[in-house]
Amino acid sequence: MKILIINGPNLNLLGKREPTIYGNLTLEQIELKISDSAVQLDMEVDFIQSNHEGVLIDSIQQASEKGFSGIILNAAAYSHTSIALHDAIKSTNTPVIEVHLSNIYAREDFRHHSYISAVSIGQISGFGLDSYLLALRAIKKYLNYE
């Protein structure tokens, strides 16, 4: 089972950007911990990070043809603004779990709405790195591999 982990804008700055909200781990450190967990779960993961909405959309649209069974998506700020990402997810049969490091509902009002959640199979937020690790387990269970 191959899972695509997609990270959106500014997540390349993790470890430096607002550590009181996002923690001290860099994106590379998070990816290593996700990879370790995936091995234990007998899963394969691949990672994409982009600050460009079109790259995220292309990745979602091409996931199935590249052999991915599911997507874990941290669209970051695009979660709250991108109807285009909503439409890309809606147009694919690849299940998507939305993740956020922070609890978006305990933050600014504009972060309380996500265009992604309506077309995702679920959302996990507020658990830092564990949001991704919980999503790995959830997508495996959803795909009936557990």
**Which one of 78, 100, 115, 132 is the catalytic residue?**
100
Band of pLDDT at residue 145, cut at 50, 70 and 90 = low
pTM over 0.85: yes
Band of pLDDT at residue 9, cut at 50, 70 and 90 = very high
Q: Which of 146, 138, 144, 145 is nearest to 71 (CA)?
A: 138
**pLDDT on residue 129:** 95
Q: Give me the torsion for CA of 40, 103, 15, 131, rounded to 10°.
A: 10
80 catalytic, yes or no?
A: no
**Which one of 22, 78, 115, 132 is the catalytic residue?**
22
100 catalytic, yes or no?
A: yes
What are the structural domains, with CATH classification, of the chain? 2-142 (3.40.50.9100)
The residues, any chain, with a CB within 8 Å of residue 120's CB and separated by 6 or more, are 73, 89, 96, 97, 98
Q: Residue 144 has which token pair?
A: 């009936």
Band of pLDDT at residue 21, cut at 50, 70 and 90 = confident
